[in-house]
Every structure is written in C-alpha cells, then in structure tokens.
Structure 1
Amino acid sequence: MQFALPPRRTPIAPPYARSSRFSLQRRKQLKAVAILGLALLTVFFLLSQLFYTSTGTPAVPAGTAGVVIVTVLDRAGFSDDYIQKIVKNREDYAKRHGYTNFFANVSDYETALDNAPRSWAVVPAVRHAMASHPYSKYFFHLDAHSLIMNPGKSLESHVLEKSRLESLMQKDVSVVPPDSIIKTFSHLRAEDIDLIVTTDEEDMCPGSFILRQGDFAKYFLDFWFDPLYLSYNFAKAETHVLDHIVQWHPTILARLALIPQRIINSYSKDSSGAAVDGVYKDGDFVIRFLGCDTDTKRSCEKELEPYYRLWVSKLKHE
C-alpha cells in the first residue's frame, strides 16, 4: 500500500523580515548616531572644562579677588564726609592687596529686618556680598565705625595662611567669656576653619569677622538670620544670637576659630568691654570705635578724626 506524501510547503518569509540591503542601511544609521553622540559628549566635556577644574569645583575667573571686604554703612545720622573717610580707608587697603570692596547700606535690608535692630543688617549684607562675588574665597566684615590702621598687613599673612592661623587659634577656651562651659575644640586644624572671629570681655564680636565661601557659610548666615531670632528680644541683638548658636550648635563650633582680639578687632580707648589686651596699640591692624553710635555721650566722627589724620599721615610718608 502506498501512502500519499504530504505536500511540501513553500517557505514563507516572516512578515517583518528585513532585506540585507535594509539591514546595511540601518547599521549605517546607528553608526552615524553613535558618532554624533560621541561628538556631543566630547563638546560637552570640553565646555565643562572651561568652567570647572579637574577637581570638579568651579574654576575662578581671571581677575577675581580672593578677599571681599564687607562694610555696612548707615547713612542716617552721619555726614557724607564721615562716610567718605570710611570708604577711602577701605578702598586704599583693597587696592594694595588686590581685594575688592562691597559697600552695603542698612536701608537696603530694612524689609528683611522687619523692625529688628538695624545692626542685624550685617548678616544679609554678607550673604548679599557672597552672592555678588561667588568665586571669591574669603569675606571680611569690618564694622563701619572702624579704620584699617596698618594697611601693609595683608589678610593672608596676618591671619589666613595655614601656619599663621594655627598659631593664632585659641583652643579649649570658653566660647563666650568669661566662663562659658562650652569651649573651642582642641583638635581643629586651619583647614577645618570657615569662620574666624574674636571675643571681647563679654561676648563674641561680629563687628569684625572672616567667613570662607562655601556651603557652611550659607548655612551659618541663614541660621543666624532665622526669623525666630530676629523676633526675639535679645539685649544685644545679633551679638547675643551669635553667642547662643555657637554654644549650642556643634556644627558651627566645629568650623570656628577664635583668635586674639587685637589681631582684627582692637577697641579704641573710649570703647568699653575690651578683652584683656584688647585695646588698640600703635601698629595694630584695625581700630574699632565700638558703641560710638549708641552712646549719646560719644561722637563717632570726633573719635575717628585723630586716627584718620594719623592714617593719612602714614600714607604720605610711604
């Protein structure tokens, strides 16, 4: 018996099969896309190098000042002549060392102060300076009622150089004199420091301090200027708030260096509350007329005048 063989099936090409010609074209397209993608990545990398260093941090544009001097002027109640003397003093110092000045007016921050004491303006002013000079490394706030008396001293050699700062740092001492139980850390090194400040007989002294640009600086200033602190009736406003946050927040204390008062904050003989060896002596970096604007028996303009004349005389003999 013979059996019929099943009919052969003619192979049918899959409905989506591509011709070899189409596959070749597709490979060419993919190769072109890959080359284009590589080219774009290369361009992106090259452009990024224009703005970032090899460590991934923003590159500093040429001509950027390493130090910005922040001075907050309160024009209410002071003559133009007095203000111009302060400005001239700062401009001379900045020019000598390649620094730049940031002059702010208290009136610029009245909305932010929201009826808080006008002395609070220092905090938003420094924050403003940092935003205006994002590539500068250090911000030196010096109270307007102060004069730089020894302009030959750069901040680098006088304070900021590693060996110099480590020799100045006061370790394991009360943060707020005379006997705060909270003390400065003894293990800190110069590279750990973002905030450099002094104390007088009773408090920390925000009238003269140095702050290093960075995330800590922004955090510190925002925390210091918290609306809760502004609304609280601290007797010495921003000074007592600084005393408080440094003592109770180790994140801040871990970035803090206390240095001797006369290094950046010598008080005039008419200013009360100076630390031991905190009164101005000839040759000191600055003189500060603390309280001359709040004591009705004193005059900032009269106290400034003899020291301003002395400063001008020194300039003439250089």
Structure 2
Amino acid sequence: MHLGIPRRSDLRPKGKNKPLLPIPSALRSRFKDYSNKRTAIQAILILIIGNYIVNWLFSSSKVKHNFGHLTNQEALQTLQDNHGIYKNEISVGSKYIFPPIEHAPLLRELTLDRLFKNKVNPDNPQEKLYFYSDDDDLNDFNEIKDKSSSEDPLDQSLKAFKEHGRKVFRPSSGKKSPEIVLVTGVDFEKFEQSHLTKIVQNRVDYAHANGYGLYVRWIQEFTPTLQEYNNERNWAKLFILRAAMHAFPHAKYFWYLDQNAFIMRHDIELYSYLLEPKSLEPIMMRDQPIVLPNGAIKTYRKVKAEDMQIVITQTKDGINTDSFIVKNDIYGKGALEFWTDPLLRKYSSFTSDEKDALTHILQWHPVILSKTTIVPGRTICSLHSSNVAEEEDDTLFYQEDDFVVNFKGCDVHHTCELVLDSYWKKQQGTN
C-alpha cells in the first residue's frame, strides 16, 4: 500500500528532456512565479503593441473609425438605392401619399391574379404564388406606361396600384420633411369604399391640421411578402411601416394607426401631447408585466422618457399593435427589422399574429425592452365599447373627448360600418 512515501521510481526521470533529479520545491516555486510573471508581461506587451498598430492604422486614414456612424442621424438618413421593394421609384413633393380609394371596388374586381405576376404553387395546386415585378415598361418619370389605348377604369386602377408603392417623398428645395408621419394600411377586400374613404379622409384631415406627413398603402400590395412564410395580413403593417421610413427618410417619428381606429381629436398635437419627454415621463407604465396579469418580465423601472424609441399600449389580452409609435433612429429601425426577421415570421406560433412576436421580443431581448414603453390604452388607442364606461379612471375604454377610438373586432360582429359611421358623425360635429 502506498502511504505517501516516495518510491525510487518516482525519483527517476520520466522523459528525455526532464531533469535527472526532481527540482527542489523552493526552487520550483521560484520558477513558477517567474513563469507567471513572464506570461503576464508578454500579454501586456502584446496588448500595447497591438493597440499601437491599430491606432496607427486608423489614424493614417482620414475617416474616423468608431461606432459613432451607427447612431449618427445624418448617416441613418442617407438614402440607399436598394432599400425599397422597387428599383425604380417615383419622387413626389406632396407629404400626403395615399392611393386612390375610389379604386377599391375596381381592384376587388381585378383580383390578385391581375395585380401580380403569379404561378401555381407546385406544393399545392389549389394555391397561387404572387410575385413583384420591376420590369414593367416605364417612361422617363419612372411611371408605368399605358398599354391600353382606351380609358378603361380597370386598366387605370391597375396602373395606379402598380405605381403607388414606388412613390417616395422627395421635397423640392425650400421644403422640409415632416417630423411625424401617420401610417395606415387599408384593405380593399375587407372593407367597402365608403368605410375606407372615411378612414383615409380622417388621416388626411388630422395630418393637415398638425403639419404631419401621411403614408397609406393597400395591404394587398404586400401579398408576395406575406406569402413567403404564410403570414396573415395583419403582419403587413410592419412592412408598410418600413416602406414609410423609406419614403420619408428624414422624419423623426412614425405613428402606425390601424384601419380599425379613428382619430377623434384633430386639435391634439402628438409630440407635445405624448412624445415630448416631459409629457411621456409621468404616464410611462414602469414595472408593468409584458404578459398580463402576472408575467415575470416587466418594463424597467429606471428608464428615461427621452430614451424611449417605441411607444405601445396594452389591452387585457396583452400587447396592442393597432396604434403604436416608432422613432426613426438606430434602435427604432433595429427593433422593426428584428420584428420582421424571417426567424420570427416563419415560427408557427407567430405566423398569424405579429403581436405575439413582439411579446416574445420584449421578453427575451432586454435592449429592445429598455427602449420600449407601455402607456395607458386611452392615450392613443381607446377601445370602443357598446357600454358607456362608468369609471372615470378606466384606462382602456373610450370616453368623451378621448384622442383615438379603436373598434377592433368589429369585423367579427359585422358592425364596422355602423360603428365607424357613429364616430364619424360625432367627430364631424365637434371639429
């Protein structure tokens, strides 16, 4: 039995390069200390030399190599030719970009088969796949040439549909970009022309009253994009918002407002009402669960209003994306790009609902959560209810003089036209 007493074999060299006898323990510790110090000195010298080389290389260039270019507003607003869907774009001087709403019934008659190039899905013969086309015959103004000699309304609506997505706001000299742009997607298959006309007119009137820009797109324009991962149409709002940022690159804020919402107060200016830090600070819902009622992940307590890039609301069912605001900077754009990433869009639990994808992002990505604030629903998205709210401190349901009313779910009960008409008449009588 070995009791810790060295054997003769332990004293013999075990390799050709080993010393003949073991090194004394005192001397061994000195060598070890020297080796550690030498390694530390070598590491320090490598860092010093490496830092010198890097500084020499960067200082020899006239361009500053730092991360400032990632947050530089001027750099963020630099136009990129390949950012939009279409290679050929149409510059317009009007800050109100919206499609001819009177074409809604004609577009419904044309169907998607004539609005896009298409082919039968080889995996499902009952389904057609639609594609964007940038090879239409264009004139010198990037407008699609008329191929018909007649003034056929269907041909004119088809031409307008294909051209609308190419329009971008490029003001003439002396004009400035609006700082806030109101964004909406409209569905000509879901709503009648009368409904859509009131929605778009409501947006135009509000934007005009406050000097904002307006960007409205047909939801059907994004059919090929949504088909990539079988996303439902409510995902289109994110791509419309991205397109708005491309069309108005110098705007500071983008407010997406769904077609099932209606602005009741044109006298409320959004920046001073909500976006200005002193207005946003007292209504930020800190330590608020992302998943109601008792979710583990909550909004941060110690965040500042001036650092918020995304403003959203909640209902009792969770995050509400019928009305939300995104700031046009590196964090706002980054969050939107991440939100539309294919990894999220093709995940089976998110394909039908973009709200679930955002809920996931806020729970698992603290940087985005730290730039996002939840505000009371009635701030920018009061919910319509057939029952008059009795509690004055209710934060969800519409009350007299609220800013925006949201009649989400009206399509389920087939009451959209009726509900919108009642608010239209009320709003027209008070403004």
RMSD: 2.1
Q: How does 1:32-181 map to 2 (within 5 A)?
A: 57-58=73-74, 62-114=175-227, 115-181=230-296
- Structure 1 runs not aligned, ≥5 long: 1-40, 42-54
Contact 1:143 1:208 in 2 (8 A): yes
Secondary structure at the residue paired with 2:300? coil
Q: Indicate whether 1:215 and 2:330 are aligned.
A: yes
Q: Which amino acid aligns with 2:374?
A: L
CA deviations 1:23-70 (Å, max 9, x no partner) are xxxxxxxxxxxxxxxxxx9xxxxxxxxxxxxx9643997421010000
Equivalenced residues, count: 257
Q: Shift of residue 261 of structure 1?
A: 0.6
Contact 2:380–2:403 (CA under 8 A) maintained in structure 1: yes
How far has the Cα of 1:277 moved from its partner? 2.9
Q: Secondary structure at the match of 1:58?
A: helix
Native 8 Å contact 1:178 1:202 kept in 2? no
* Residue ranges of structure 2 left out of the alignment (5+ in a row): 1-61, 63-70, 78-173, 388-392
| Partner secondary structure for residue 196 of structure 1 | strand
CA distance in 2, matches of 1:284, 1:157: 16
Taking structure 1 as the reference length, what is the TM-score of the superposition?
A: 0.77
One-letter amino acid of the structure 2 residue matched with residue 70 of structure 1: V
1:266 pairs with 2:266: no
Q: What is the SS of the residue equivalent to 1:205?
A: strand
**Alignment pair present for 1:278 and 2:396:** yes
| Cα displacement (A) at 1:270 | 4.8
- State the Cα deviation string for residues 261-306 of structure 1 (Å, max 9, x = none): 10001000059xxx9530100110000011123x1x2321111111
CA distance in 2, matches of 1:312, 1:234: 41
Q: Secondary structure of 2:74's match?
A: coil
Against the structure 1 CA distance between its residues 292 and 234, is the aligned structure 2 distance closer, same or farther, given a 3 Å change threshold? farther
Question: Residue type matched to 1:281 in 2?
Answer: Q
Q: Identity over the aligned pairs, expressed in percent?
A: 34
- Rounded Cα–Cα distance in structure 1 between residues aligned with 2:184 and 2:255: 9
Structure 1: how far apart are the matches of 2:277 and 2:322?
23
Q: Which residue in 1 is equivalent to 2:302?
A: 187
Q: How many Å apart are 1:178 and its aligned residue?
A: 1.1
Q: 2:74 & 2:190 partners in 1: Cα distance?
A: 42
| Contact map agreement 2:73 2:329 (CA 8 A) in 1 | no
2:321 to 206, 209, 230: 206
Which residue of structure 2 aligns with residue 23 of structure 1? Answer: none
State the shift of 1:217 in Å. 1.9
Q: Distance in 1 between matches of 2:359 and 2:375?
A: 15
Task: Assess if the C-alpha contact under 8 Å between 1:198 and 1:260 holds in 2.
Answer: yes
Secondary structure, counterpart of 2:244 in structure 1: helix
Answer whether contact 1:201 1:276 (CA < 8 A) is retained.
no
Q: What is the CA-CA distance between 1:312 and the residue it aligns to?
A: 1.0
Cα separation, 2, equivalents of 1:298 and 1:270? 14
> Judging changes above 3 Å, is the alpha-carbon distance between structure 1 residues 268 and 286 closer, same or farther for their aligned structure 2 residues?
same
Give the CA deviation at 1:77. 2.9
CA deviation map 1:64-83 (0-9, x unaligned): 10100000101113111111
| Contact preservation (8 Å) 1:139, 1:212 | yes
Partner of 2:140: none
Is the 1:158–1:164 contact (alpha carbons within 8 Å) kept by the matching residues of 2?
A: yes
In the alignment, the residues of structure 2 paired with residue 112 and residue 57 of structure 1 have an alpha-carbon distance, to the nearest angstrom, of 29
Show the counterpart of 1:247. Answer: 363
